[in-house]
Amino acid sequence: MRKRIIVLILLSVFIITMFGCSANNQASTIDTNDPDENGRQNTLENPIAITDENGAKLGEIDNRANFTAVDEGIFYSVFTLKEYSHTGTAEYRFFSLKDKTDVYLGKLEDQGYEADFTRTELNGVIYTLAVKGDPTGDEAVPLLLLAFDAANKTMKTYTVSEHGFPYAAMTASGGKLIIMNHEMTSEKADKIYEFDPISETIREILTFSSSTDSLRSVCAADNGFYLLRLKLNNGGQNEMYVDRYDENHEKISERPVGDVLADVIKDIHGISGRQDAMNEIGMNVSHFFMADDRYMIYENFGLSRIVIDLQTEETLFAKDDNYAVSNGSGVPVVYKVDYGADNVSDPEIYGIENGTLKRFSFVPDDDHRLIRTVTVSTGGTWAILTSDAFPVQKGTGVIHVWSAQ
């Protein structure tokens, strides 16, 4: 539901184009003086507890936290909207599971939207994409790459493009980050950028004319990456492809997936037939993941949450937006979001394991049975937010740190 609301707010600006294009790849180091040491109250007004798998309390964080599991703890942001504005200040923090400390990493002022589904951990550094400025306005807004080193309590920003698109995408491959952006200019181009964390440089590696080939997402592959590409056939039926690129950014294969996706999506609750399914395929994509070069996990900003075997065209999972795909750098899972106590059911969490769809076991505590969020780190640590009410109210939420190993 949250993603669909965001789509409605931003839709009008995303279907138009803006002006000129330039990129500034220079890093900026953000002041990371902890506001706790400069007058902020240490007592949280509305905390959420963090517990281990046995229910022992490890600590607590702000209940407004937008959090993601990382290997060493919980990375999160707290966004404060500016009055009468579409922007605000995002404060980024890290809760360490090892020493149970909560540290301030930095803040981004005038943040318009963070693509939290792009949060990626690479070599102990946490990265995310955000646009600075009002994404619903007429002016171009830059797409920023934010980098957080929790061990050294530092935050850096890099400008990916001066003409950012909020629904950008990112993955880690070969020790580098691969970033997708719809350039919001009259050029009508979709571009792929590569960030090298050693040289701290960003370079453009691929360009597509978005009037014919509109990119939807990117995910890592062995020795390369995949692109999810919508082929626009003016006057005809659009087609979706999964393209594979090698480490030299050369395309080595393309696989049509539009028909098989439409056949699955047409039967999802809320979709009225195949033509509606083809329209649904055109939606922007929040999660795209390929496993073993055949199993695709797909979630868009509309209704569709799909797990499909592209080799056999077998549907392993197909549900509507009562389900969600997990955030984080780990192998994603699909889970049911419990919206209220009246319809709470046994936890539903599914993932691909050895070519089959596995239902993972998770037992919430009796006081907090509604699953709200699931996030998985690279090393397989999960953080699961459960509550006894929707939305989370004072004192009703708990984040369970759960290992699938």
CATH of the domain at 306: 2.130.10
Return d(Cα 140, Cα 261) in angstroms, integer: 34
Q: In sequence order, which residues have a C-beta less than 8 Å from that of residue 107 and are 6 or more positions away?
A: 30, 89, 90, 91, 92, 155
Structure tokens at 312: 């056999």
Tell me how far CA of residue 177 lies from CA of 68, 79, 121, 146, 366, in angstroms: 18, 25, 10, 12, 41
Q: Between vectors from CA 402 to CA 398 and to CA 405, what angle results, nearest 5°?
A: 175
Q: What is the per-residue pLDDT for 341?
A: 65
CB 306 within 8 A of CB 264: yes
Return d(Cα 115, Cα 168) in angstroms, integer: 7
CB 262 within 8 A of CB 306: no
Return d(Cα 369, Cα 117) in angstroms, integer: 24
Closest residue by Cα to residue 147 from 134, 162, 160: 160
pTM reported for the whole predicted model? 0.90
List the domain range (segments joined by +) for residue 258. 2-403
Domain count, the chain: 1
CB 301 within 8 A of CB 6: yes
Cβ atoms within 10 Å of 28's Cβ, excluding its own: 11
Please tell me whether the peptide bond between 391 and the residue prior to it is cis, using omega within 30 degrees of 0.
yes
Which helix H or strand E contains 278, and what residues bound it? helix 274-281
Total residue length of the chain: 405
User: 């181009």: which residue's tokens?
Assistant: 189
What is the β-pairing status of strands 381-387 and 370-376? antiparallel
Return d(Cα 353, Cα 371) in angstroms, integer: 22
Structure tokens at 33: 């003086």
Return d(Cα 278, Cα 166) in angstroms, integer: 23
Taking only the tens place, the pLDDT of each residue in 338-379 is 877 666 678 999 999 988 999 999 988 888 888 999 999 999
pLDDT along the chain (405 residues), means of 10: 44 35 46 48 77 92 95 96 94 95 97 98 97 92 98 97 96 98 91 98 96 96 96 89 97 96 95 92 96 97 96 96 96 90 80 93 87 94 88 75 71
According to DSSP, the residues that pair with 51 across neighbouring strands are 57, 400
Q: What is the per-residue pLDDT for 187?
A: 82
Radius of gyration of the chain (CA): 20
Q: What is the per-residue pLDDT for 35?
A: 59
Q: In sequence order, which residues have a C-beta less than 8 Å from that of residue 128 and are 6 or more positions away?
A: 114, 115, 116, 118, 119, 120, 145, 146, 148
